Amino acid sequence: MLFAILIVFSQRKNPTSTWLWFMVIIFLPGIGFILYLFLAQDFSKKRMFQLKEEEDRHIKEMVLCQGERIRKDIYRFSNPKTEEYEGLVNMHILTSQSYFSDDNEIELYFTGKEKFEALLESISKAKRYIYLEYYIVRSDSIGRKLISALTEKAKEGVEVKFLYDGMGGRKLAKNYFKEFKRAGGKVAVFFPPFLSYFSFRINYRNHRKICIIDGEEAYIGGFNIGDEYLGLSKKFGFWRDTHIRIRGSAVEELKWRFIKDWRFAARDDITHNTDLPAKRSSGKSGVQIVSSGPDSQWASIKDGYFSMITKARKRIYIQTPYFIPDDSIYDALKVAGLSGVDVKIMIPHKPDHPFVYWAGLSYIGELLEAGVKFYTYENGFLHCKTFIMDDFVTSIGTANLDIRSFKLNFEVNAFIYDEEINRRMVEQFNLDLKLCKEITTEVYDNRSNIIKLKESFSRLLSPIL
């Protein structure tokens, strides 16, 4: 026990999680240490940092040069309104090496049907390469349809690489990639499980969901690959999510995001197509692709959320399936609400992870008192990871508003600087509101003692959920 406690205190910097694990080890001697090894130990963090530093040298110089030009007022944004958010742009440049480009065209998708139809059409037109990276992959009808399309492209000589997470894809049929590999397709697994169908490593999951095609277009958002994302699950019913397709220079940033993840998981370099720059478009949207994870020095996506909340003057609209804010986000939301900013947060009515759901509800009370409004989506399951600020900045990607996404998972978001995209996202948010119930102070105060007990217990686990 002394040895275990020494390890916990020497490796963990967050006091809350340190004391939580300390209590677990004290009250569950032996078992608690085993849980720590599998749930919280930083087995591969040093290696990830070293690999990332080597790879980032290729991009860092160019991005920091852009940041220097912005700070010296030499760089000119094509949309003058972006200058108001220069601090946010520069922060992402410094912390995530996120290059800013403003020639992007963005298409929004709010249903799985729309997203998968567009993705399959893009795949059918691919000429050079297709790179996919997903957290969850199912070998169901949409999963088989996708792998069949990819197999055909591999037969045509298109370079096709498929990266999926070892936990999210643990239930894949053993022969799922058989024909795909035979056709020349390549597959890599991010932290594969030690045993079939079971992974001891709950932390450090690759939660990213992206696809890059020929350097001309890329997809990023909340949809994984499975029939439930088409609304075909009896448990969840309609699945409400948000995904985007990007055409323009930001595709290059997503391509490099995939290449770095592939090198880590596959222990294999990508020699083809890396020197082909993304095709510019006639779009006008400013975009920064922001990544974060255990291999990042900064919690870049969380810091982006925090900056958006603190700088908002008109509105903050959030959609998230899991609401477990850390202290900084919690306080920022509270101050925004008290300052008169229109803060609306939409969460699911149906939980898919009970402890996470109950922990999320425990944070609502004080925020309601501060003027923050909460809504539960009643028309199926809400899985969007969207953040809307005022009338210009929007974030769409894979990161939830929870501690796991901030620190323990590998995530990627597109921070978008564009009035029209913001307007359309606000419009969709208001449409979703019609399918919601508001959690008023009266409703919250009248919840049963059983629910309050579940919330209190789940909140204690918040740092590791």
Active site (catalytic) residues: 207, 209, 214, 383, 385, 390
Helix (H) and strand (E) counts in the chain = 17, 19
The DSSP code sequence of 141-162 is: HHHHHHHHHHHHHHHTT-EEEE
Beta bridge partners of residue 267, listed in sequence order = none
Token look-up 């002394």 returns 2
Tokens of 64: 């920091």
Helix (H) or strand (E) holding 94: helix 86-96
| Contacts of residue 119, Cβ cutoff 8 Å, sequence gap at least 6 | 146, 211, 219
- Burial class of residue 161 in the structure, from the number of CB atoms within 10 Å of its CB (0-12 exposed, 13-18 middle, 19+ buried): buried
Amino acid letter at 22? F
Please, how many CA atoms are within 13 Å of residue 214, restricted to the half-sphere of its CB? 14
Whole-angstrom Cα distance, residue 77 to residue 69?
11
441-449 own/partner pairs: CB under 8 Å, 24+ apart: 441/368, 441/369, 444/364, 444/365, 444/368, 445/365, 447/361
Whole-angstrom Cα distance, residue 123 to residue 216?
12
| Contacts of residue 311, Cβ cutoff 8 Å, sequence gap at least 6 | 85, 87, 88, 389
Beta bridge partners of residue 381, listed in sequence order = 239
* 371 three-state secondary structure: coil
* 242 three-state secondary structure: coil
The values of phi and psi at residue 365, to 5°, are: -50, -60
